[in-house]
Amino acid sequence: MELDSIPTNEADGPTPRAGAGSVAPGRPLEDLGHAELCAWLDARGLPAYRADQIRLWLFRKHATAFDGMTDVPRELRQALGREFVVGSLVVQQQSHSTDGTVKYLFRLRDGAVVETVYIPEPDRVTLCVSTQAGCGLGCTFCATARMGLKRNLTQAEIVDQVLEAQRGCPEDTRISNLVFMGMGEPLANYEATRGALEVITDARSGMGISPRKITVSTVGLLPQMRRLMEETRVNLAISLHSVREELRSELMPVNRKYSVEQLLECCRSLPVPRRKRITFEYLLLGGVNDGATDAAELAARLRGIRCKVNLIPFNPHEGSGYRRPPDHVIERFGESLRARRIQAHVRRPRGDDIQAACGQLYHAATVGPGDGPVRPAVNAGSPAGGGFSADPVGG
Ligand code: SAH
């Protein structure tokens, strides 16, 4: 498949500002939480309300420099400029799908590249963000797992994926939904993910995206899962893929640490708000986990958990050794769950012509600043998905 790669200044769809160039040295202000910014101001004898002003410029008005913050005193702007910068990544490349999906390649300060997928739909605009460069979990269906973990993203690098994609949107378009389903495991990078969520959801001076419209997806790191449910109001999605211990351990080595048994037990006791459900993602791998018995066992094990199941047909990539089941098998699997009163939907892939569909995000080898554009490996796999059309999980 041809990658429809275009330079960043296209008129249709998102048009981010950066394009080429590099990230300025210094600590990005997006790395600071509200409390930390207040403390910084306080240490300089400045009132806390300045924090809100500054944050509104950053997160609501998408300022790219301190001098544009016109209601902030000049001295304060200068002080900020001496210590901080705005921005932690630049757009290296963006690819437009025929279905409107846009895949961004963002280059970070150390040359690492992460991917973010912008998914417009009639009733919402979803952004699929990454939380790590690479991934250390080694799921066998995921080609990029072979890359291993390069590093965790910082809070600013997570936040800036959203800011940069929003800057590129047409005036009347707002990113309404977020899914943490790009590269990496969000809960293996808990602090930065949690910090980013604070900035993103803060209705007073952050981006003000409702936690109801945000879904964090995890392989099931139990302690962090519990923390996330206690500390935030975002929706939780868990990549399950099998309820058989042996098979799940084969597909997802993390199952040797946190078994299906422990995972489901944890789900039963999680503080999930009344009107919300946990989403289980179930990747359908032809001849591996797509049989009638798999569906029956899955339904039986999920009984009593307020949940729904998203069925994700495998998006093939070279050398994976797995295949996508035929459509009738996918449909039958869904029907079998519904017949057992488990809510189940099949996810349509978005942006698969630009390798942005779930599981098609790839991360080419790390490039140094100033290197040429990253050439996507056609059909290369991903550390962890992307390109869902996002369904709010709760409600
Ligand atoms: N680490 C988190 C976040 C990744 S979310 C997690 O595992 O949940 C992305 C989803 O895409 C996960 O459910 C993952 O299992 C799935 N995925 C990975 N590779 C895929 C592929 N080739 N085809 C379809 N889905 C895939």
Secondary element (H or E) of residue 262 = helix 260-269
Which residue among 129, 181, 285, 320 is best mutated to probe the pocket of ligand 1, counting the most ligand atoms within 8 A of its Cβ?
181
Distance CA 113, CA 92 (A): 8
Catalytic residue from among 30, 38, 115, 307: 115
Maximal CA-CA distance, the chain = 68
Structural tokens at position 170: 């047409």
pLDDT > 60? residue 260: yes
The position carrying tokens 């509104």 is 56
pLDDT > 50? residue 17: no
The mean pLDDT of the chain is 87
Tell me the pLDDT tens digit for each residue of 93-133: 999 999 999 999 999 999 999 999 999 999 999 999 999 99
Provide the pLDDT for residue 273: 86
Provide the pLDDT for residue 387: 42
Distance CA 193, CA 48 (A): 24
Question: Which of these, 35, 387, 383, lies nearest to 188 by C-alpha position?
Answer: 383
pLDDT > 90? residue 325: yes
Helices (H), 84-216: 155-167, 190-201
* 185 has catalytic annotation: no
Q: Is the CB of 382 under 6 A from ligand 1?
A: yes
Tell me the pLDDT tens digit for each residue of 150-181: 999 999 999 999 999 999 888 899 999 999 99
**Cβ pair 215, 235 in contact under 8 A:** yes
DSSP reduced 3-state for 293: helix
194 CA to middle of ligand 1, Å? 20
63-72, 98-107, 131-140, 363-372: range with lowest mean pLDDT: 363-372
Q: How confident is the model at residue 143 (pLDDT cuts 50, 70, 90)?
A: confident
* 164 has catalytic annotation: no
Provide the pLDDT for residue 353: 80
Nearest atom, ligand 1, residue 382 CA: 19
Extended strands (E) in 240-298: 278-284
**Cβ pair 235, 308 in contact under 8 A:** no
**Cβ pair 360, 390 in contact under 8 A:** no
Q: How confident is the model at residue 194 (pLDDT cuts 50, 70, 90)?
A: very high
pLDDT > 90? residue 349: no
Question: Atom 7 of ligand 1 has which residue's CA nearest to it?
Answer: 219
Angle between the N-to-C axes of helices 292-302 and 327-339, in degrees from 0 to 180, rounded to the nearest 10 = 30
Distance CA 41, CA 66 (A): 15
Provide the pLDDT for residue 350: 79
Provide the pLDDT for residue 271: 85
385 CA to middle of ligand 1, Å? 4
Q: What is the pTM of this model?
A: 0.89
Provide the pLDDT for residue 11: 36
Distance CA 221, CA 232 (A): 16
358 CA to middle of ligand 1, Å? 7
Bigger pLDDT: 391 or 262? 262
Provide the pLDDT for residue 388: 37
Provide the pLDDT for residue 280: 98
By CB atoms closer than 10 A (0-12, 13-18, 19+), residue 78 is: exposed
**Cβ pair 329, 342 in contact under 8 A:** no
Q: How confident is the model at residue 393 (pLDDT cuts 50, 70, 90)?
A: very low
Which residue among 131, 185, 281 is best mutated to probe the pocket of ligand 1, counting the most ligand atoms within 8 A of its Cβ?
281
**Cβ pair 176, 166 in contact under 8 A:** no
* CATH class of the 24-87 domain in this structure: mainly alpha
Question: Which of these, 19, 30, 14, lies nearest to 167 by C-alpha position?
Answer: 14
Provide the pLDDT for residue 377: 26
Distance CA 189, CA 198 (A): 15
> What is the average per-residue pLDDT within 203-214?
97
Q: How confident is the model at residue 144 (pLDDT cuts 50, 70, 90)?
A: confident
Provide the pLDDT for residue 206: 97
By CB atoms closer than 10 A (0-12, 13-18, 19+), residue 6 is: middle
Distance CA 192, CA 273 (A): 24
By CB atoms closer than 10 A (0-12, 13-18, 19+), residue 209 is: buried
Q: Is the CB of 359 under 6 A from ligand 1?
A: yes
Distance CA 315, CA 360 (A): 7
Determine the residue type at 151.
R
**Cβ pair 101, 128 in contact under 8 A:** no
Provide the pLDDT for residue 6: 35
Structural tokens at position 271: 């503080």
Phi, psi of 85 (to 5 degrees): -125, 170
> What is the average per-residue pLDDT within 303-315?
96
The position carrying tokens 């399950």 is 240
The position carrying tokens 């059909």 is 379
Count of helices and strands (H, E) across the chain: 10, 15
**Cβ pair 188, 132 in contact under 8 A:** yes
